């Protein structure tokens, strides 16, 4: 351990009353890669040096050895347990991020001459819709672009085509700060595919309502490099066979996510985070915590409704990404600059929305939300 700085000596949760907390850490509102639980970081520090007493660090283990095979099996089991993933579903670890799935899903699931339906509710689902067109004439069953993606469409607004191979949705719109608080109604027998990259395992989920769920790990599940795919086995079997082997979901299902060297550190981290969720008491506990954290920030926006404006329609507000702005772009810039100086980091909104975005995923501490809300109060008082 001498080559490492012991985490316990330097790292406790960041605080917002100065420039940085102990160990130089600040409150990190990054949209992704984003904050990890303290306990997970400590464990990683140990395991990078010597994983489970094996004498070999986790980064250096062969993926074909017994030690790593157990690590991957544990990660898969933990992911299954957290989401109570039912029998008949595979949990796979792929690479290529959520963006890779924007191609792999249609490549596998849209048959020749077929098409799929998209619920276009934000930046990422616009990309899914556009990427999908490479594989067939895709249909936008709803599109909220004309309302700046500030809301989630009601079921009465959705117009499905006839016979789509699947319906694609994005459960949380990371950039616009809206979130589905219900599962959309889909035509009978049509699988629902969900990009859950920015809210997976932030609340209880009924996996049986979906055909396929995918998420890049770097927001709520760990670090970048691994993509988690939870998929119904019959869809894997039904998948296209006339595409390259490494693009077929069945290849990963057959070979336990290891047809080649997997992103083994990222998968290991997903396992740590999934086990951390279990140790917290599971998804119901996290959902309560996340709702409480988000309320601290939305209350601050609403308290100063003449000064701050939230982007999302109230009932569609995301509990993961809180988007808001001041009256002018100059004030937004000043806000971000002064917030950074106060140890509240990475609050600048995405260029397509502007303003501010506070990403407060599972691992983000409540104290950071309280510190930001206090800063918002002061900033509004000084500049109002």
Ligand X SMILES: *Cc1c(COP(=O)(O)O)cnc(C)c1O
Site residues (vs ligand X, CB under 6 A): 32, 97-99, 124, 170, 174, 195, 197-198, 216
- Distance of closest approach, residue 361 Cβ to ligand X, in angstroms: 10
- Distance of closest approach, residue 340 Cβ to ligand X, in angstroms: 22
> Both ends of the chain: CA-CA distance in Å?
52
**Quick one: DSSP state of residue 151?**
S
Burial class of residue 162 (count of CB atoms within 10 Å of its CB; 0-12, 13-18, 19+): exposed
Residues in the chain, total: 384
Closer residue to ligand X (CB): 213 or 376: 213
Residue 258 CA to residue 119 CA, distance in Å, equals: 32
Residue 204 CA to residue 201 CA, distance in Å, equals: 7
- Distance of closest approach, residue 346 Cβ to ligand X, in angstroms: 14
- Distance of closest approach, residue 193 Cβ to ligand X, in angstroms: 12
Closer residue to ligand X (CB): 100 or 114: 100
Give me 310's structure tokens. Answer: 């939230």
Closer residue to ligand X (CB): 30 or 45: 30
Place of tokens 């998948």: 239
For residue 10, how many other CB atoms are within 10 A of its CB? 12
Q: How far is CA 160 from CA 60, 120, 156, 173, 185, in A?
A: 49, 12, 11, 21, 10
- Distance of closest approach, residue 178 Cβ to ligand X, in angstroms: 11
The catalytic position among 219, 293, 332, 348 is 219
Closer residue to ligand X (CB): 30 or 256: 30
The catalytic position among 38, 117, 195, 332 is 195
Closer residue to ligand X (CB): 99 or 247: 99
Catalytic, 49? Answer no
Strand, coil or helix: what is 214?
A: strand
Catalytic, 195? Answer yes
By annotation, the residues acting in catalysis are 124, 195, 219
């Amino acid at each position: 351990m001498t080559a490492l700085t012991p985490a316990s000596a330097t790292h406790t949760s960041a605080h917002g009353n100065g420039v940085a907390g102990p160990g130089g850490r600040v409150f990190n509102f990054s949209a992704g890669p984003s904050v990890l639980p303290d306990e997970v970081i400590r464990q990683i520090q140990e395991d990078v040096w010597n994983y489970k007493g094996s004498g070999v660090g986790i980064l250096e283990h062969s993926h074909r050895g017994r030690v790593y095979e157990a690590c991957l099996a544990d990660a898969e089991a933990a992911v299954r347990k957290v989401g109570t993933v039912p029998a008949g579903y595979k949990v796979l670890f792929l690479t290529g991020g959520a963006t890779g799935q924007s191609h792999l899903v249609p490549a596998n699931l849209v048959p020749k001459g077929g098409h799929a339906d998209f619920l276009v509710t934000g930046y990422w689902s616009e990309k899914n819709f556009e990427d999908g067109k490479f594989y067939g004439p895709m249909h936008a069953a709803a599109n909220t672009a004309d309302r700046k993606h500030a809301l989630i469409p009601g079921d009465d607004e959705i117009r499905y085509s006839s016979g789509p191979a699947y319906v694609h949705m994005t459960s949380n719109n990371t950039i616009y700060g809206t979130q589905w608080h219900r599962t959309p109604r889909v035509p009978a027998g049509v699988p629902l595919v969900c990009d859950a990259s920015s809210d997976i395992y932030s609340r209880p989920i009924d996996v049986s309502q979906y055909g396929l769920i995918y998420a890049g790990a770097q927001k709520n599940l760990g670090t970048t490099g691994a993509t988690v795919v939870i998929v119904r086995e019959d869809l894997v079997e039904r998948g296209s066979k006339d595409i390259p082997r490494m693009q077929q979901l069945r290849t990963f299902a057959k070979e336990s996510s290891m047809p080649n060297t997997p992103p083994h550190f990222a998968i290991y981290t997903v396992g740590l985070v999934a086990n951390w969720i279990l140790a917290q008491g599971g998804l119901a506990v996290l959902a309560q915590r996340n709702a409480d954290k988000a309320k601290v920030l939305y209350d601050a926006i609403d308290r100063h409704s003449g000064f701050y404006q939230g982007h999302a329609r109230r009932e569609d507000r995301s509990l993961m990404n809180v988007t808001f702005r001041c009256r002018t772009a100059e004030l937004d810039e000043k806000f971000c600059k002064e917030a950074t100086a106060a140890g509240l980091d990475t609050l600048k909104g995405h260029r397509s929305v502007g303003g501010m975005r506070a990403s407060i995923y599972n691992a983000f501490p409540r104290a950071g939300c309280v510190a930001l809300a206090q800063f918002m109060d002061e900033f509004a008082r000084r500049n109002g």
